[in-house]
Every structure is written in structure tokens, then in C-alpha cells.
Structure 1
Amino acid sequence: MATYKSFAKSFSLFIAFFLLSFANAPAQNKYELNEGWKCRQIAEVRADGTQISKTDFAVNAWINATVPGTVLTTLLNNKQVPDPFWGMNNAHIKDIYTTGRDYYTYWFVKDFTQPAPTGNNQVYLNLRGVNYSCEVFLNGKKVNKQTHFGMFLRQSYNISALLNKNGANRLAVLVYPPDPVGNPNGGQGGDGRIAKNVGLQYTAGWDWIQPMRDRNTGIWDKVTIETTGAVRITDPHVVTIVPGIRQVEGKQQPAVIKSSATLVNATGKIVSGVLQFIIDGQRMVKNIAIKPNSSLEVNLNDLVLKDPKLWWPNGYGTPHLYKSSIQFFTANKLSDKADINVGVREIQTSWNTQTHSRQVEVNGQKIFIKGGNWIISDAMLRFTDARYNAEVRFHRDMNLNLIRVWGGALVERPEFYNACDEYGMLVFQDFWVSGDANGRWLDPMKKDDQWTRRKYPDDHKLYLQSLADQIKLVRNHPSLAIWCGGNEITPPEDILLPVRDSILPKLDGTRWFVEYSNSDKMSLNTLGGNGDGPYGIQPDSAFWKVHTFPFNSEIGSVGINDFESLKRFIPTENLVAPEFSDDKKKNKVDSVWDYHKYIGYDASIEPYGKAKDVKDFAAKAQLVNYNQYRALMEGFSAHMWDWYTGVIIWKTQNPWTAMRGQMYDYYLDPNACLYGLHNGSEPLHVMYNPLNGMVTIVNNTFTTKRDLMLSVKTYDMQGREKLLTQVFEEIQPQSVKGFVPVKDDVDALAKKEGVFLSLRLTDLKQNVVSDNLYWLVDEKGNYSGLKKIAPSQVETVAKQIVPGKIEVTLSNPPNAPVAFFNRVSLVDSQSGARLLPVFYSDNYVSVLPGEHKTVTLTYDAGKIKSLPAVTVSGWNLKEQTISLK
């Protein structure tokens, strides 16, 4: 009898699973309200929200609004203000500090079609981000009972009872700017008072950006309409546990998947159903009954995933993602679901007693952090999936493995995290405070004293609510590795302690929380200073010689783009090269360059010859860029696990047309910084120690690299080769080793006019696995040989492999000079304008005599109507245009 009952029960469960898999049409649906908005300044509207939100209220005379977006974006798109990213335009746009807040206070209206729900179905209005406070009206009714405050606090309203029966509806949102708006007086965060809000701090200006004149007021993030059944799923949570020390290859021991969700019953009666989590063809289910008008947090039983495909950071393995879904069914109908891409991985950290700093571990393996600091994708909050993907892809192409999201901006959007998940980029996520605005230092530019600023923001309860909400928004992303209390300072203690001791343990609990970005708990500072920097240009050897902070969260340098980039935002009359006075140790800089925060190259251009004009200056700057960032990463990598556990560059991108610290410009055009990093950050890399002349190999991978042929050669300016050594070597995992000292030979060969030093690793199949070419100065510190090197004889062939993929091969004949530092660009075949964004497997490449190099270009062919062309230009090669074959 017992056997029969067990069989019957099992059969019933099987039938239930079958029904769940083939249930009726789902009630769940979600769409974005991102077109057809209208807006108007509050002073021009003589009606209230109950009137404006009725469909018969005339808005034909209102201007078209950009949502998601800011007021300034809307004004720009309506040609009511000039492009603030061009020239001095931003200085001529009215600033909210002068105009008053009403000037940028706007009504936003959207008509949409949504039938009133039937039966137990529900409809929700979701606003993912409004800056800074707002009133919400729908069809003549107030939706939010009290004014909503907080840029980072999501809003969700059940609007089922407010929808018109005929399906024609109007949403009206009155958006107020931050308060206070802060005085943009040139300080970091202006006078600092912008930080009294729970919002962005850079909008009042910083040393890399001018102020955003509306302080980013607007419905800046997505607005969605969501329909569900009686029960809605909120705050789904998936945690992966990967015990032990894992390898990238081979069969894996099981991993454990924990899943949970909050179920909201919006009806007046008990609703029973089944909650299920599905991943990789496996499922975990639970029968649930939810009381009327209530919510219930439900934890499903653990699911064991056998032989899982793991998620690894970039450079260590594939960042594999599983598609999963949490679903709730009632009466065999889907009520709601949440789809989640799951990366099976576990983040740990431990204290490295050798370096006196924290080290990050993924799946039990220590990861040497090579990161970039990220501000925000666009200073006017014009976010797109495509832009996020391109920017994160650039970081992947730099061979970095972490992006730090700086605390003066925001908790980044899920779309950013989606790209980081895909490309294997770990994320170090700051919360919203900074040492500059929040009182760490005495600062005469600030309105309030340090004691007052230390208590910013004004509303601590709102800060904690917003923080908890944003944790829930992004916590399922495998790329998210580190939470940080703030940039160079902790939040006030009555914020810090709840975050550290209760909020994070309850809502996440799986990641390292560092209290502030340069905390001694992250990197024990025995060197003095504040634990960051330096930020200016350094001699290449300094990165090898100077022992800086053992997990350096900010170290930065120069980063202007080439002439084509400068023309995109600098007027012709201001395209004037900076001049450096060696006597005064000062740069003479054009006013537009200064407004766009140019940081000086000082005397670093001079060894290549004094710049003839701005085009020549920008071209020579690329040589400096390449060397600067290659040397930075090589110097840190050379001391991996000895001096350092990680380094994060300040910074790798700009959300505005700034002229410092960027590997690509605002328009997504890469410069030589990106490719210097691409080279210097290779997982397996051969390099030259400029201090002792030792040829050194760094192996960032988890496996021993055996039977590597190490080849060391020099080439003079005529292209004559000299083999210094060639030897088989091996290197252990996660290690650095010096192999061959060649300083005396190299110095002797470089003495007269400089020399090219070629370092190369090849495997047993004679495939090149690391290739590194240095150009070294003469005994006086100049590149005298480069100044007179013969013209390049390189021949270039470009062919389309498939639409969106092109191979460019540069071939240098024997007995020719080195074809030095060639920039490959994809251009419009008619206008010659550079196409953006394009992703190059390498760039600024040099080709040795008798050799060839192939660069692969990928781009979105769907956005280009005609077949493009390729241009190539180099140090000793005049620009050529090559048609595609």
C-alpha cells in the first residue's frame, strides 16, 4: 500500500511538472515607455497634476521629451541649448545655481495604451530612477501619496484600479531638481553641497569634468509597465556556492545553487500556487500560499549542479552564463517570472601577509587585479545597451579583469552589469560618498566645514533605503565582486554600521565589503599619503622602481586621443598644441584644452622631437600613451604577490570630452593607451625590466607554461637584426621570473641613436604567444634614430571575412626598416571619416623586417550602408587608404 501511495505521489508530481512546463498563455508582460513623451517647464504650466494627467488636457504645444533622459538632454535634442561637450558651449548654458531650481523643474507627460486588467491580473508602473524628487499622476489621480525623494530609490505602483477602461491612459510626472544644487565654483563637487542629496556628486564639477547645468534632473532611467497575474515576483535572489580550489579545465565537482524570491499577493484573497526555479534543465519547486494583500519571502531548497561550467574573470577562463528563471504558477497559469543569467562562481578574499593587502579569489584561485576606474557611461545619463557593451568590451580588450565604479556617480545599471557578466569583468562598486565632498580634507572651496560635510547626506534614512534597493537591483550579477562604502571616506557611522552589519549580510552576504576605497583593510598604507596615486605622467622606470600602495585603487596618468578625436570637440581655432617650458616646468595650454581638463605631458614629447603642430603633438602623444600604460601594468605585474595584489588605473574612460585619463574618447575611439595596456596586461607576458635589464616573464594563468622559446633580438634603424639570445624556458602559475640579463648589450646598441628591442615567446608549434617591442632612447635620452628612420616599405591588404569582420595584414619586406607604430582605422569609403565604435585585435602595431602582422577589425555592419575602407598610418608611413577585397 505504501509503495502504491509513493508511486501515486510521484506520478502526481510528474503531472504537475508537465502542466507547469506547458501552461496556458502567461499573464506576465513588461514593456518600456521610452518614446512619445512631452514636457514643459513648470512656470509655463497653469494646471495641476490631476488636470494634466487627463487625456483631454492639451499638450500639443509642449516640446518632445527624451525619456529616459535629463532636462538638459531634452533641451539639447530640441536645439534649445548647444552641445555642452563641444568647445566652450557648456560655459554658456545657464546653470541651475544661478537660475534657481524652477528653471529646470519640468512636467513630463506620456500617453500610452494599456487595457484595465481582468480577473485577478495586475498592472504595475515602475520608475527605475528619477532625479531628484517627483509627483506622479495617472488619469487624473495622484499615484504617490507623498512626494518621492531619492535619485537611487526605485518606484513601483500598482495602477490596476487607475487605468481607463478604454485603454487610453496618460501618465504625468513632475520632476524637481536636487536640493541644494550646489555652487559649481571649480572645486571637487563644487562647493560640496550637492552631496547633501542622495545622488550624483560629479554634476557640480570635478577635476575631470565641468558641471552639468541641470544637475542631471529628469526621469533618467527606465519607465516600464508590467502586467502579472494575482502574484508578483520581486527581489529574486540567486547565490552560487563553489567550494574548494577549482581549475578552469576538466570535470568539476558539484556547485550549490540557492534561490529565493519575494511573492506579492495584490488581491483580497489567499492565493495558492507553485514557485519554481529552473536552471540547466533542473528545477526546484515549492507549494506556496500567500495571504491577501501581503508579501512573503520564500527560500527554495538548494539545487546541486553537477559538473558545472564555471564563470571566470577575463584572462583566466570563460565567463560562462546559465539562463535561469524563477516562476510562480497559480491554477497552472504563469502569474509572474524573473529571468536571470547565472554565473556559477564564488568570490572570496584573504589577507596577503607578504604584500600587506587584501587579495581577491574566484573559485578558490587568487586573481591578480588589473583594473580600471569607471565614472559613468555618459555625463548626461544617455545610457544604451550598445554603449555599455562597447565600453566594457574595450576593458576586456585591454586585458583588464576589474572595473571600479567610482563613488561620486551611481550604482551602475543592470545593463552595465550584463556586459561585465558577458566579458568576465569583476566589478568593485562604490556607494555614493567621496572624500572630497564629504569632508575628509580641509577644503577652502567648500561651503560647509568638515564637521558638517562629514554628516552628508542630510537624509540618512533615505540613503539606507536607496542603498538596500540598489543592492537588490544588481546582486544577482556574477561580475559584482566588491561593495565599497565610499570613495576615500566611509559614510557616516549611523549609515556605515547598518550597511556593514545588517543590510549587506541580510540582502547579499556573498561579497567582500571594504569600508572605503583606500582603506587600510584593503591596502595597508605604510608609505604615507592617502593610499592613492600618483596621478600625473611618470618616467616608465618609476612603475618598476617606486613601491606604491599594495592594492592601489587609483593610479593615473595622461590620455589624450589623436588629431581625429580632437577635431570632434575642439574648434579649429583652438587646435593649438600645448607648449612645455623646461625652465619653468609649466605647460602653456589653449583655453578650450584647459576647460576640457587637459593634463600635461610635460617634457615627455620632447625626446621624439618638438611638435610641429597639434596633429604632430597628438601623434607623438600616442607613443607616450602606449609606453606609459604598458610600463604601468608591467611594473605592477613584475611585483605581483610580492609588493602588490592589484592595481586600478585612474581612470580608463571619460563620460565627457575630457582630455585626461582615458583609453578611448567619449565617442568610443580608442587611443594608444588601450593598446599599451592590451600588451602590458597579457595573461602570459614577456617584458624588459628597465632598471636591471632583465628579460622577465609573468604568468597570470593557473597552469605551468612549459617549452616556451624565449627570443631576444634588437633591430637598428636600418632594420638590421642582432640575436642576443634564444632559449627554452618554463614558468610556474601565478608567478614572475627574470630569465636573461641583457642590459649591457642593449645599452651598447642603443647608445648612438637608440634601438628596437624585440622580446618574443613562442610555443612548441612555433605560435607566438607574447610579442613585445620596445623603442629605446640613445645615451642622451632622445629618439635620435627614429627622427631619421627611412620611410616604411610596409604593404597592406584588407579583406572582408564576413560582414562586420575585416582582416588587415601589414607585410614588411626583408632588409627594410622597422615599419613602426602603425594605426589602423576603419573609415567611411566616401567621406574618409573614422567609423565608431570598431574593435581591433591590436593597434599601433610595428612590423619587423621580413614579417607580417594581421589585425582583425569587428564592427556593427548593420549600421553602415556601404562597404567601408581602411586607412593605415605610422611613424614612418604616410597615411594610406586601402579598399577592401
Structure 2
Amino acid sequence: MFGKNGKWWASLLILASLQAAAQQPYMRLNSGSAAVQWKVKAAAAVPDSAAIFATAYNDKEWVPASVPGTVFGAFVEAKLEKDPNFGDNIYKVNKAKYDRDYWYRAVFTPAASPHAEMQWLIFEGVNRKGEVFLNGQRLGLLDGFMERGKFDVSKLLRAGQPNVLAVRVQWPGTPIVNYASPTYISSASWDWMPYVPGLNMGITDDVYLGSTGAVTITDPWVRTQLPDTAHAKLHISMELNNNSGQQQDGTVSGLITPGNIRFSRTVKIGAGQTENVSFQADIDHPQLWWPNGYGSQPLYACTLQYTAANQVSDEKKVSFGIKQYRYDTLGGVLHVLVNGQPVFIKGGNWGMSEYMLRCRGGEYETKVKLHHDMHLNMIRNWIGSITDDEFYEACDKYGMMVWDDFWLNSHPNLPSDVYAFNKNAVEKIKRLRNHPSIALWCGENEGYPLPPLNGWLREDVATYDGNDRLYQANSHADGLSGSGPWTSFPPAWYFTRFPGGFGGTLGWGMRSEIGTAVFTNVESFKRFMPDTSWWPRNKMWDLHFFGPSAANAGPDRYDKAIRTNYGAPTSIEDYCRKAQLQNMESNKAMYEGWLHHIGNDASGIMTWMSQSAYPSLVWQTYDYYYDLTGAYWGVKAACEPLHIQWSAADNSVKVVNTTGHHAQGLTAQAAVYNLDGKPAKEFAKTTVLDAPANNATPCFDLNFNIDNLAFHKPAVASSTAHDGDSASAVADGSTGSRWSSQYTDHEWVYVDLGQDQPISTVVLNWETAYAKAYSVQVSADAQTWKEVYHTTNGQGGMETIDFTPVKARYVRMEGSKRATEWGFSLYDFEVYGQRNKRSISDVQFIRLLLKDKDQQTVSENFYWRSSRMTDYTALNKLAPVQLKVSTRTEAHGDSIRVIAVIKNPAATPAFAVRVNLVRSDNHEQILPAMMNDNYFTLLGGEQKTISIDFERKLLPGGKYSLTAIPYNNK
């Protein structure tokens, strides 16, 4: 529709029938074209650089190159370097060979461009600088990888004849942070990727020839505003550049689809002048662009033309979405609103798309689709390391908001050339501002940009993006709750006040980075690790960042958790198998811990990291080869828009609604099963509830303390430390709270059972600060105490103390010697009677179901829980289960879908079933593939249907093999 009054604010005319359309580009100069062959050679090895501009120059000894690409990538692709992904190959490369300037050279023969007055040579990006020559003529210098080069080659280009294009690319130099910015600053190594020889120097973006008339359209910009969701205001602006020596009289016109909205205006432009032209419009009932989970992602197209004498001089097409971002920091917490709707951020950080810039084109579709399927709604472009248009186009398509950084890390130095930095910042904003996915611009990673850049960047966003998005100066402050930690913790920790970060304000809030080590599956591990380094853990693992090189990931802590929680692995296969359970449990709890507090101070969480740039053993959901690890499935389960979840800290169950719409008439159900698969019916719960949007609605508590005589009983302590809860914490059944004494020996805590009753067992669940020497005492009056147990060799953790049955009302732990510098600290103090210590197995399964008003399942969630903190070693006693598997295939255009029905015919649960699809001929995994579920559990008699989608070209013979193996089957 046109608007309230059925007309545009600017004059509207039907576009005239045009004789010809502008062609831009008309010849692509990227690799892959039969007409172009790029080659590279070190500048120092080219003594006579003038000679390379001759078409007859012999470049036989030059190395074939890919454009877009990097110098080092060219040598790898030519097999002049060993596979840098494998083993320690990249660490052995002679850096001096690549850490210097290089020449790129190509010869091409363009056809004549009809109806064109001007020919343009276009560069979209060179890292770090590029001096461009055509047929021996220097065209200019590109300074920074976001600077676009648009060179008038009308008089230089030889149509129908060979042309020589050469670019001298300058090495970024070291130190790189922040001196060489704008550039890919992690290329000099980080704690998740190695040093890349040449520092990703090269022609890193598209190159092409374009043709226009005398007038060109530059940087068209479509801004959208929403007075309310039923009305949209559009502001369309552009620069018109007259590149000739005569005045140009013509018409600028536009077409917006859908809607077939047309507009035009006559414009006169003086010789060599620029005119800024704009239009405005009202649109009723617009199709709104929403983040993933909150609605659909319709996109509009705006086609702009400048015509003179019935000839199209230039044409630009802009894709945009109608949306409006708003922000507040109420309570000191950053909140993001889209189209007036609060959005809970569920995101992931990308370090890079690929450490050698080898991610191109459709790969971004795959990566972003995987984020969409995990139910995430934001990707952080960490330190601006992604520069490809395809990334932003995929984010637009899949509703993935982009937190976009500039190129600064928390180092106390400015870029060597702040003016080049700022010019690139303006270029970045202009190039990206039409993407509806751009949600936030960030100045610096974990710091504030030094003067003058902070002020400049703020003004850049205000001027060139109209402050339509927030400028966030510091990535972990100013409304954010910090960044980190980046290592795994027990599930209860993520629900406990507060998961501490670095920087920012105390609380859950909006956490820009938090993560954990994530080990790969064994198939991927063996793809990049020499067989001599498979087992046990060794230095080669550290070269793939599972050791001191990735200390922030806490690999030692992660390794200990696997061994403690699931038992010591016996091989690399066993290690990877157990690692996936650790991955799933910790990453799921991480997101659910934040979601548990939505509606209070939690507004979002972004994992470090959601994607893998290098074959690594830390910080990823899917791995470098697109195998979906346990972390992927944990995040996917936690982030579903309407979600039922359990808190490992206090055993509460909540329904979390991040859809933007109230959900009414829901039924929440919980079932608990013993390790043998039999239901523990006394723990079953059901309730009916409504779930408001942007909130976590309590359902019920799962009381695993039915036999615990101390549960919710009064407790008294000799003292309480400033960093601990009161004595009642030991009896609240929550591992998310703890009592801690003052930092002295001879402190105590007791519980009042209310009346004398037989007792024979006490369970003490210690925090890190445990007692080396202590006694358990009983009393009838809390005055006179009788000792029933004493030790001078306390072990900490969960200690179960059995003693001769005795009648008592009061039970006390009296610590006489601390094991640490702190006091005595207990999560739980449990007391059990004479006959039945526990009515359930040490490890239990929890299944949660959420059904809508029609009793259709909208959320299903599954957990494993231990009565002994995170001791799941009892899972290793599960009997093997042979599953029944049937499969069929469906053809969908260029894709194949494998549908598998997996059934458990046994009474024993089939725990954490891993489905794996491979080619029959070589048994290699079929990747990338989109799956609906994995690592699921089937109780006796249950079955599940799994669908797996992949490109037909990945299965050339059409034959595959699918396995479904539960954790039970070693």
C-alpha cells in the first residue's frame, strides 16, 4: 500500500520503459572464471617489477592464486605447503617466506561493454594494503581491508585484447594488535588459532569490471522506522556522482518490491559534482523482519536507476528489511527491543569464519543455518573479522542479529594510522547498514577505544547509520555483565547467583562472552591428529589448543570433569564418547542458567564460541568439519523458543517463553526414571499454566529430598562468612546455595529435625572449602552432644557417613581443622533414617514435556542427574542395547534427506544414542548435514524418527550407512 493518504511524500511517477540496463558487474575477475588466472610471487623475488605489466611476461614460475584468497592460501592450495590443518604442520612453516610483500598478477581479455560511457575496475577488499596497476598505469592505493576501490579505467582498458592487472599487496606487519588495524588481528595467533604465515595478506574480497554512464549511484541507504507495527516510514537516500565534464540532466527512479511501489525525480548534476537525493514514504501493514524465534524474515528489494536520454546510466539494487531497534539499560542491564518487542539474546561469538579466510559463498549459508537450527538469534562478529557480504546476507535470511565489532582489542595502543582506521570504519558502516541483521556496533573488545577513536566511532555511527543501532563502546561493560569465564563448570553453577565474569556489572545481565572447552568427536579428531598422537593426551593436543596454549578454556578442568563425572577414559574413542556428554551437559546448563532468570536481570547470553575457525578442541558447537558435537545439541535443546527446563541448582522446573507471544493453556509434565528405566512415580509432577512472553514461569519443584529428614528443616551455625549464605542453605535441597563459616577452625552447623527419630546416615556435600578433620554429633536438646563419627582425613566432595542407628532431634557437623585457607562450606547437609536411605538410584533420568492446549508436544527435555553431585559413573553399568534401525531416502532438488526410525526393543534405556551417517564406499562422514536430533535417550520400547539433510553431491554413489549407537555400547 502507498500510505495513509495513498501517496508518497515525494512525487511518484511510473518508471518509463528503458532501452537498456546498466551492467555492473559485467566481468568478474575472481578466480574460477576461465578468462582469468591469478598468480602470486614475492615482491623481493621480482627484480624488475615494470616487466610484469607486459602481456608477454613469463610468469611460469609464479604460483597460481585464488581470488578472493590469501598468499599463504595460494601456496597451500598449490600443495607447496603441507596441509596446515594437520598435526603441527602450520607451526613448521617458514614465516619469513610469507611475512613480506607479494605481487598478484592476472591477464584477462574483456569484451566491449555496450551502451557504456565508463568502465570501472572494482575491488571490494585487500589486506592490508594494495597498490593497483592496470597495463602499467598505477591506479591507486587501497588502505585497509574494508576500503573499496573503484577505478575509472575507461581509457586504459583494452576491449578484445589482453590486459594485465597487477596488485602489490603489503604485509600487515607485527606487532599486529592494534597497530595494523583494520586487519584480521587474530591472524598473529590467539588462544584458539595458530599464527597464519603472511597474516592473511591477499586480495581478500571480490574483483570485477563494471560499466556505467556518466552518472553513478553511490551508497544507497534505506532507513526504516516504525511508529507502530502497522505502519512503517521509509527514508531512501543516495549520492549521484557526475563523472563527466558536462552537466547531466536525467531522472532518478526507484521500485520497491513487494508492493510495486514506484517513485522518481528529475535531477540536474553539474560537471564533476555530487548530488544527495532522498525520498520518503509511508507503508501500511508492512511485512516486518524479526530475529529468529520471534517471527519471519521477509526482505524487500529497492531497485534504483539513473537514466538520461532513455539510457540507464547506473543501477543499484538494495535488499532491506523493515524493522526498528531500540535499547535500554534499565537496572544497569542492556536490553534489546526489535519492533517494540523485548528480545532475549541467545547468541554466539565468531572468532573468524575460517582461520585462513577459506570460507566463501555458500559456506556462510551452512554456518548461519546451523545457528538458526540451534535457535540462536545473534552472532557477534568478534573484532570485525568477517568481511564477506555472504555472511550478512545469510544472517538477514535466517533472522540472525549481528553484533558487529570494529578492529580493536584491549591493548593500550592506537592503530598506526588512525585516519585509515576511521575511513575503513565509515566504509564498513556504509556497506552494511542496509542489512536488517545489523543490531549493534561495538568499538572495542574488552576495553574502550583510545582517544580520538571512541569519539570518532560514535560520530560515525550517528552520521552514517543515523543512530538506528546502538554504539556500544566496550564489549563487556556499560550495561553488560562482563565476559567469561571460558571454562566448564558443574550445571548448578550456571543457575547460582552469580556466574562471575570479568568486567561489567554483577549479575546474569547481558553476558557478551562465556564458554567452555568442547572436544570433537573421534572422527574429526583423527582427521587432524597424527595417529602417533591420538592417546594419551600429549603436546600435539596442545597445538590444537587443549593445553597451556588455551589456558582460558581450562582444558585441565575439563579433562578432570570427564574423568570424575564419567570415569577415566581408556582410549581416544572412549574420551571423545564421554566428552560429548560433558559438552552437552555444560553448554545446555549455561544457556538454561541465564534463561532461568529471564524477567529478572538476565537479558542475554553469547557463547564463546559458537563456530570453529580451526581444527581445535575448545570453544565450538559444531566443529571445523561441521560435525555436530554434544555442545550443539545442548545449546539447541536449551534455546528452543518455548521451552521447559530443570534447574540443577534447586530442582525447580520452569517454562521459558522467548517467542514474543503469550502462551496459554500449557500442560507441564515431569517424569523421573531410575537407571534401569523404571519410573520413580513418587517424583512425577503435572500442572497447567500460562507462559507470558519474555519470562520464565515456575511450574513445580522436583523434590529429590523425599527421604532426607533434614530437608527444609531449621539450621543454626556458629558463624557465617561474608561470601556465604545463612545456615539454612544446608537444608534447602539446592546445590546453588551454600553455608560457609568464618575463616577459622572449630566452627559448626546443625539441623533441627523437629523431633527425635531414628537416623543412621549423614551426607555432607562440601564446597571447595571442606573439613580435613570433623565430627558428626547428635543431641536431644542442642546442648549436650554425642559423637557418632569422627575423622581426621576428610576428602571433601560428597561424603556419606554411616553409623549405628541412633535416635536424635539435632544433628551437627563440627569442624576442627580446615582443609583450605577458607572456612568450612557445605552445599547440603542431609540426614537419613534407619531403613531407606534413598528410594531412587544414584543416577536418575528426568524427562520434561510441555504440551499446548491441544495436547500436542511443543517442548521435550531430557536430563541425567546424580544424587552425588556430578558423579555419573553409574552410567557405565548400563547393559548394551542393540537398537533396530530402518532408513529411507527422499530427493529434494539438489539435496537428499535420509529418514531413520530408531527403536529400542529392550527394557534397558538406550542412553545418549549417537546417530552417524557415512558413505558406504569409504566410511567417511557425510558432512555438512542438518539433523533434527542426536544424543537422545530411548527408554524401553520407545522409538524416534531422525531426519538428515545434505547436498546430493556429498553422496556421489548414492549409497550410505547409518549407525545408531547408545552410550551403553562401548
Q: TM above 0.5, one fold?
A: yes
Residue 242 of structure 1 corresponds to 226
Residue 448 of structure 1 corresponds to none
The superposition leaves residues 44-71 of structure 1 with CA deviations (integer Å, 9 ceiling, x where unpaired) of 223224x322322222332211211111
Residue 728 of structure 1 corresponds to 688
CA distance in 2, matches of 1:316, 1:197: 36
Residue 690 of structure 1 corresponds to 648
SS in 1 for 2:945: strand
State whether residues 27 and 334 of structure 1, in contact with CA within 8 Å, keep that contact through their aligned partners in structure 2. Answer: no
Residue 80 of structure 1 deviates from its aligned partner by 1.5
Change in 2 beyond 3 A, CA 1:194/1:570: farther
Residue 512 of structure 1 deviates from its aligned partner by 0.7
Letter matched to residue 240 of structure 1: T
Structural mapping, 1:790-801, within 5 Å: 790-801=879-890
Which of 479, 487, 491 is 2:449 aligned to?
A: 491
State whether residues 41 and 62 of structure 2, in contact with CA within 8 Å, keep that contact through their aligned partners in structure 1. Answer: yes
Residue 810 of structure 1 deviates from its aligned partner by 3.8
State whether residues 196 and 356 of structure 2, in contact with CA within 8 Å, keep that contact through their aligned partners in structure 1. Answer: yes
CA distance in 1, matches of 2:401, 2:158: 46
State whether residues 20 and 115 of structure 2, in contact with CA within 8 Å, keep that contact through their aligned partners in structure 1. Answer: no
Letter matched to residue 922 of structure 2: S
Residue 69 of structure 1 corresponds to 69
State whether residues 798 and 870 of structure 1, in contact with CA within 8 Å, keep that contact through their aligned partners in structure 2. Answer: no
State whether residues 461 and 471 of structure 2, in contact with CA within 8 Å, keep that contact through their aligned partners in structure 1. Answer: no
Residue 323 of structure 1 deviates from its aligned partner by 2.6
Residue 871 of structure 2 corresponds to 782
Residue 262 of structure 2 corresponds to 283
Residue 432 of structure 1 corresponds to 407
The superposition leaves residues 422-451 of structure 1 with CA deviations (integer Å, 9 ceiling, x where unpaired) of 01000000101001xx22xxxxxxxxxxxx
Residue 746 of structure 1 deviates from its aligned partner by 8.1
Residue 737 (1) aligns with residue 697 (2)? yes
Residue 490 of structure 1 deviates from its aligned partner by 2.2
Letter matched to residue 857 of structure 1: I
CA distance in 1, matches of 2:87, 2:178: 25
Residue 869 (1) aligns with residue 968 (2)? no
Residue 158 of structure 2 corresponds to 164
Change in 2 beyond 3 A, CA 1:32/1:107: same
Letter matched to residue 153 of structure 2: I
SS in 2 for 1:493: coil
Residue 174 of structure 2 corresponds to 181
Letter matched to residue 756 of structure 1: F
CA distance in 2, matches of 1:780, 1:270: 80
The superposition leaves residues 772-809 of structure 1 with CA deviations (integer Å, 9 ceiling, x where unpaired) of 11111243742243111122243222211224242434
CA distance in 2, matches of 1:116, 1:69: 28
CA distance in 1, matches of 2:623, 2:366: 12
CA distance in 2, matches of 1:243, 1:850: 55
Change in 2 beyond 3 A, CA 1:619/1:153: same
Letter matched to residue 164 of structure 1: R
Residue 212 of structure 1 deviates from its aligned partner by 0.8
Residue 907 of structure 2 corresponds to 816
Residue 372 of structure 1 corresponds to 348
Residue 182 of structure 2 corresponds to 198
State whether residues 243 and 363 of structure 1, in contact with CA within 8 Å, keep that contact through their aligned partners in structure 2. Answer: no
Residue 588 of structure 1 deviates from its aligned partner by 12
SS in 2 for 1:687: strand
Provide the identity percentage: 30
The superposition leaves residues 679-728 of structure 1 with CA deviations (integer Å, 9 ceiling, x where unpaired) of 01111111112222112111112222222222211222322224412332
Residue 259 (1) aligns with residue 239 (2)? no
SS in 1 for 2:193: coil
Letter matched to residue 39 of structure 1: V
State whether residues 622 and 671 of structure 1, in contact with CA within 8 Å, keep that contact through their aligned partners in structure 2. Answer: yes
Residue 709 of structure 1 corresponds to 667
CA distance in 2, matches of 1:574, 1:40: 36
SS in 1 for 2:704: helix
State whether residues 98 and 198 of structure 2, in contact with CA within 8 Å, keep that contact through their aligned partners in structure 1. Answer: no
Residue 93 of structure 2 corresponds to 93
Letter matched to residue 720 of structure 1: K
Residue 826 (1) aligns with residue 819 (2)? no
Change in 2 beyond 3 A, CA 1:269/1:871: same
CA distance in 1, matches of 2:706, 2:639: 24
Change in 2 beyond 3 A, CA 1:590/1:209: closer
State whether residues 71 and 98 of structure 2, in contact with CA within 8 Å, keep that contact through their aligned partners in structure 1. Answer: no
The superposition leaves residues 23-57 of structure 1 with CA deviations (integer Å, 9 ceiling, x where unpaired) of 434444444212211222223223224x3223222
State whether residues 23 and 210 of structure 2, in contact with CA within 8 Å, keep that contact through their aligned partners in structure 1. Answer: no
The superposition leaves residues 824-870 of structure 1 with CA deviations (integer Å, 9 ceiling, x where unpaired) of 22211211100111111222122233332222211111443122424
Structural mapping, 1:634-713, within 5 Å: 634-713=592-671
Letter matched to residue 256 of structure 1: K
Letter matched to residue 326 of structure 2: Q
CA distance in 2, matches of 1:784, 1:507: 55
CA distance in 2, matches of 1:269, 1:174: 35
CA distance in 1, matches of 2:706, 2:253: 66
Residue 539 (1) aligns with residue 490 (2)? yes
Residue 573 of structure 1 corresponds to 532
CA distance in 1, matches of 2:961, 2:664: 39
SS in 2 for 1:515: strand
Change in 2 beyond 3 A, CA 1:27/1:621: closer
Q: Which range moved further: 763-772 or 801-810?
A: 801-810
Change in 2 beyond 3 A, CA 1:837/1:596: farther
Residue 292 (1) aligns with residue 251 (2)? no
CA distance in 2, matches of 1:792, 1:292: 81
Which of 605, 614, 619 is 2:562 aligned to?
A: 605
Change in 2 beyond 3 A, CA 1:27/1:610: closer
Structural mapping, 1:103-122, within 5 Å: 104-115=100-111, 121-122=117-118
Residue 117 of structure 1 deviates from its aligned partner by 5.5
The superposition leaves residues 131-180 of structure 1 with CA deviations (integer Å, 9 ceiling, x where unpaired) of 22222111122212xx44323322111111111254421111111201x3
Which of 441, 452, 457 is 2:415 aligned to?
A: 457
Which of 277, 300, 321 is 1:322 aligned to?
A: 300
Residue 410 (1) aligns with residue 385 (2)? yes
CA distance in 1, matches of 2:839, 2:248: 81
SS in 1 for 2:476: coil
Letter matched to residue 462 of structure 2: L
Change in 2 beyond 3 A, CA 1:385/1:720: same
Residue 447 of structure 1 corresponds to none
Residue 337 of structure 1 corresponds to 315
State whether residues 481 and 512 of structure 1, in contact with CA within 8 Å, keep that contact through their aligned partners in structure 2. Answer: yes
Letter matched to residue 755 of structure 1: Q
Unaligned runs of 5+ in 1: 1-9, 183-191, 247-252, 440-452, 526-530, 580-586, 880-885
Residue 419 of structure 1 deviates from its aligned partner by 0.4
SS in 1 for 2:222: strand
CA distance in 2, matches of 1:790, 1:57: 72
Change in 2 beyond 3 A, CA 1:336/1:690: same
Residue 623 of structure 1 deviates from its aligned partner by 0.2
CA distance in 2, matches of 1:699, 1:37: 53
SS in 2 for 1:160: coil
Change in 2 beyond 3 A, CA 1:572/1:420: same
CA distance in 2, matches of 1:814, 1:59: 67
The superposition leaves residues 194-228 of structure 1 with CA deviations (integer Å, 9 ceiling, x where unpaired) of 63443221111111111111111111111111111
Change in 2 beyond 3 A, CA 1:750/1:128: farther
Residue 764 of structure 1 corresponds to 853
Which structure has the highest strand share of the two?
Answer: 2
State whether residues 181 and 407 of structure 2, in contact with CA within 8 Å, keep that contact through their aligned partners in structure 1. Answer: no
Change in 2 beyond 3 A, CA 1:848/1:745: farther
Residue 752 of structure 1 deviates from its aligned partner by 3.3
Letter matched to residue 645 of structure 1: S
Letter matched to residue 248 of structure 2: V
Residue 759 of structure 1 deviates from its aligned partner by 0.6
CA distance in 2, matches of 1:577, 1:768: 44
Which of 927, 939, 958 is 1:836 aligned to?
A: 927
Residue 516 of structure 2 corresponds to 557
Answer with 1 or 2: which has the greater Rg.
Answer: 2
State whether residues 932 and 948 of structure 2, in contact with CA within 8 Å, keep that contact through their aligned partners in structure 1. Answer: yes
SS in 1 for 2:329: strand
The superposition leaves residues 645-679 of structure 1 with CA deviations (integer Å, 9 ceiling, x where unpaired) of 11111111221122111001112222110110000
Change in 2 beyond 3 A, CA 1:712/1:93: same
Structural mapping, 1:844-855, within 5 Å: 844-855=935-946
TM-score norm. by structure 1 comes to: 0.87
CA distance in 2, matches of 1:690, 1:23: 69
Letter matched to residue 388 of structure 1: Y
